[in-house]
Amino acid sequence: MSTYREVDTKEAGAKRRRWPEALKRQLVAETLEPGASVSVVARRHDVNANQLFGWRQRFAGSTRVPVTELLPIEIGPEPAASVAEPGPAAAKPLAGSIEIDVSGGVRIRIEGAVDPAAVTAAVAAVMKARRRR
C-alpha cells in the first residue's frame, strides 16, 4: 500500500514531497510495533528508510515506545554438594604449568593450580618492571 497519493506535491516547481504530520506519525508507529522493520515499512509506503529513521528520532518523545521492564534477581548461596555424588566441582584442580615468553628473553613460568587474577598480576608486574628500564 503506497502512500504516494496522500503526499502533497502540488507546489509549483516542487521537487520534494510534503508528508502530512499525521501520516509521519502513523508510519513511525508502524515501525515501533514488535517485529517491525524500518526498511520494510519504508518500502511499503514508498519512503526513504533514512527519512523514516529521522522521523522516528523527531517523534521519539511524543510516540509511546514500549519499555523493557527489568526483572529483579537475587544471588543466593551455592547449594551444598551431595557427599554421595561427587561432581566435577568436587574434583581436585588439575596441576599444570603456564609459560609466557616476553620479548627481550624474559620468561614467566607459573606451575600448579592457577588463578587468572594471579597470572594477570604477574604479567603486569613484569611489564611494569620492563618499562622502568
Residue 77 lies in a domain: no
Higher pLDDT: 130 or 29? It is 29
Residue 76 lies in a domain: no
pTM: 0.39
- Output helix, strand, coil percentages for the chain, rounded to the nearest 5: 40, 10, 50
CA gap 13, 103 in Å, rounded: 71
At 1-38, the pLDDT tens digits run 556 555 655 555 667 788 888 899 999 999 888 888 99
pLDDT tier at 63 (50, 70, 90 boundaries)? Answer: very low
- Per-residue pLDDT at 43 exceeds 90: yes
Residue 72 lies in a domain: no
Residue 65 lies in a domain: no
Residue 84 lies in a domain: no
Residue 122 lies in a domain: yes
Name the domain count of the chain.
2
Domain that holds residue 18: 4-58
